[in-house]
Amino acid sequence: MAKFIIEPHFRLQEWVAEEKGYFRDEGLDYEFRELVRATGGKIHDKGDKVGAFQSFEEGRKSNVSCACHWTVNVAASKGIGRMYTDVYSVSPAGIYVAPDSPVKSPADLAGVPVSVGYQSGSHYATVQALEPYLKPEQIKLNFADGMLFKRMEQLIEGKAPAVSLFSGPYYFVEQLGFRKVIDTTFMIATMIHGDPDPEDLRKFFRALRRAQRDIDLRPELYTHYYKNEFPERFHALMDTRRWGPGERLVFEPYTKEVYEQSFEWIAAHGMFADSGMGSGDYEKATLSLNA
């Protein structure tokens, strides 16, 4: 049987489980691939209108991957993978501007381009967060700044007036003095690729549960792992001792009700053409080992 492929993805849990030997303790026969690491950061720059959904279409190399729950919903409904519903996570996120920006409140973002990842968590979460303040025609999104690290760099260099960030970049720009205008925290779901052994999945998630408890107890011991996923040109400026724990795994069901409500929100906002939405059938699109 092929080895179980683990790919860390902008969060601490996989790194902690690997450091502590939790995957080995579970008896998991696995390979740990640092696929997100790139010295120059180019792996994160996919260009205009290429985001989480498009990366699912291209194919993922790991057995388990993660993305915002909206995109995972649609991808799973199209048969690209299966949404694992026994756990979800929540990531702190926000829209940031320069310290001297005239933008002081969410209402001030009317007509201001906000850099987001296309059909990715930052895309949906930005719309969701700004709707209480702005009319749809006032929300202006910029997809040209590409993926997470490019958006961060554009903000730091003064080339983007407002940027949606999460994970390490969220903490980094805050450390550098950039201002958060509004919180855009969002849910992240898990996608299963291929046909891994169900027992391997159980071992994998048991290890992550142990890692989550360690992070909850002593986050300052593990925030240094953010550097493993940052382009090296930023390392000298990073003080990860000041950063928070980031994405938190929640070992509760991602229910049919939540799935359907999210699917309806995506459809109502025209995030995908009708032909690209899939069936929306929860039972066909999902996998639970606790059912």
Q: pLDDT value at position 147?
A: 85
Residue-level pLDDT at 54: 54
Q: For position 79, what pLDDT does the model report?
A: 87
Which amino acid does the sequence have at 144? A
| CA 79-7-164 angle, 5° bins | 80
pLDDT of residue 78: 87
pLDDT score for 38: 47
Whose tokens are 């391997």? That residue is 200
Do the bridges between strand 4-6 and strand 82-91 make them parallel or antiparallel, or are there none, so unpaired? Answer: unpaired
Residue boundaries of the structural domains of the chain: 4-90+187-287, 93-185
Tell me, yes or no, if the two domains 4-90+187-287 and 93-185 fold the same way.
Answer: yes
- Tens digit of pLDDT per residue, the chain (291 long)? 689 999 988 899 999 999 999 999 999 999 998 765 544 455 445 555 544 555 544 445 688 989 999 999 999 988 888 999 999 999 999 999 999 999 999 999 999 999 999 989 999 999 999 999 999 999 999 999 878 999 999 999 999 999 999 999 999 999 999 999 999 999 999 999 989 999 999 999 999 999 999 999 999 999 999 999 999 999 999 999 999 999 999 999 999 999 999 989 999 999 887 656 666 789 999 999 986
CATH C-level class of 4-90+187-287: alpha beta
CA angle, residues 276, 61, 21, in degrees to nearest 5: 130
Give the Å distances, CA to CA, from 70 to 18, 65, 151. 28, 14, 21
Class of domain 93-185: alpha beta
Between β-strands 4-6 and 30-32, what pairing exists: parallel, antiparallel or unpaired? Answer: parallel
Residue in the block written with tokens 């040109």: 233
